[in-house]
Amino acid sequence: MKLLFFLSGSYTPLAREEVISLLDTYDIKYEITYNEGQLLLLNVNSSELDFLFRLGLTHFVLNVIIESYIDDGIEKILSDIEWSSYLNLDRTFKVRAKHKDSSFENLELLIAKSISKYFRDKIKADLSNPMDEINGILYGKRLIIGKKIPERSKKDFNKRKPQLRPFFSPTSIDPRIARAMINVSQAQKEVLDDFTGTGGILIEAGLIGLDIYGIDIEEKSVIGTITNLSNYGISKFDIKLGDAREVLDMFERSFESIVTDAPYGRSTKVDKDKDKMYRECFTTILDSFEKRCVIGLNMEYPFDELGFYIETIYKFRVHKSLTRYLHVLSK
């Protein structure tokens, strides 16, 4: 089947990496057929895609009905679609469209009329709570029409913004970014956060059903993280008070994936020599994960000098005084 992922416009490279990493996590074979701007088109060899709800930086996913160019006219393209393969009279529908060309502002209406005509006006539209949703996307002369794959509400991310949690820090990662970091780590069963902070990463990991583990050197952060996890209905976790340099002694094992945002620019009980603390913590982390490790910092860090393989680094501005660098690491 062919899928279209409409990616975040603010974090497009990271969003693309998130999609690919998640497919790799579940051993889904794929072929990239189009990759430009916010559009990522893939041929995939499976229809078992329930895990796509995990995505944080994809606005929506479409099961592609038709991909064409508009040279022959949109009405002609629409007339060739067998709508009964995607919609039926027992279910309501709505149509949404995205396009950059103002001359096609009626694309949504054209698709809706094509559907109604095909079903002889017997199918019911529901703009507020439809059972099925058809999307049309026009980029230049490329027209893509697809059926939206059901998803969990993206609005829930806004309910988990850092400032809305019981325990809050201004440097906390946005939940969409935290979710993407987890997916890029290729975690399928569990995640460890070595610098738990307010628990933002672990909240997202817990909500997608992963086993979650955390460490923080400050007692207030451990208590705050537990409070935040409980606030979102997450009851299964193992959060320890301790030093990230002692993770192997504390848990007596390694973990599938590690996802963490290292301490920077905030009050913390770390060594006065932060460079020394980083080296020791990161060296311990190297021995503590099996798949991938994703580490956020306020600078690029030479992880390769410690024995990591740096797959890529994503850089984005958080606010005027903070730029975050996400290091995607393996061994």
Percent of the chain with pLDDT over 90: 82
User: What pLDDT score was predicted for residue 300?
Assistant: 96
The CA-based dihedral angle spanning residues 280, 256, 157, 127, taken in that order and rounded to the nearest 10 degrees: 160
Q: Which residues pair with 125 in a beta bridge?
A: 93
Q: Find the radius of gyration of the CA atoms of the chain.
A: 23
pLDDT band at 271 (very low <50, low <70, confident <90, very high): low
User: What pLDDT score was predicted for residue 153?
Assistant: 75
Helix or strand (DSSP H, E) at 138: strand 132-139
Ranges for all domains in the chain classified under CATH 3.30.2130.30: 2-148
Longest Cα pair distance anywhere in the chain, in angstroms? 74
- pLDDT tens for 185-208 read 999 999 999 999 999 999 999 999
Cβ proximity of 260 and 214 under 8 Å: no
Cβ proximity of 62 and 1 under 8 Å: no
Which range (88-92, 135-139, 238-242, 315-319) has the least confidence? 315-319
Nearest C-alpha neighbor of 310 from the set 297, 326, 298: 326
pLDDT band at 104 (very low <50, low <70, confident <90, very high): low
Q: How far is Cα 183 from Cα 113, in angstroms, rounded to an integer? A: 39
Helix or strand (DSSP H, E) at 329: strand 322-330
Token pair of 214, please? 């955390």
- Class of the CATH domain delimited by 155-330: alpha beta
State mean pLDDT over 176-188: 98
Nearest C-alpha neighbor of 2 from the set 142, 113, 145, 161: 145
Q: How far is Cα 216 from Cα 226, in angstroms, rounded to an integer? A: 12
- 2-148 fold: VC0802-like (3.30.2130)
| Per-residue pLDDT at 165 exceeds 70 | yes
| Per-residue pLDDT at 69 exceeds 80 | yes
| Per-residue pLDDT at 88 exceeds 60 | yes
- pLDDT tens for 277-303 read 999 999 999 999 999 999 999 999 999
| Per-residue pLDDT at 100 exceeds 80 | no
| Per-residue pLDDT at 17 exceeds 70 | yes
- pLDDT tens for 297-309 read 999 999 999 999 9
| Per-residue pLDDT at 246 exceeds 50 | yes
Token pair of 139, please? 């980029």
Paired sense of beta strands 258-261 and 142-148, if any: unpaired
Cβ proximity of 255 and 221 under 8 Å: no
Cβ proximity of 53 and 19 under 8 Å: no
User: What pLDDT score was predicted for residue 325?
Assistant: 96
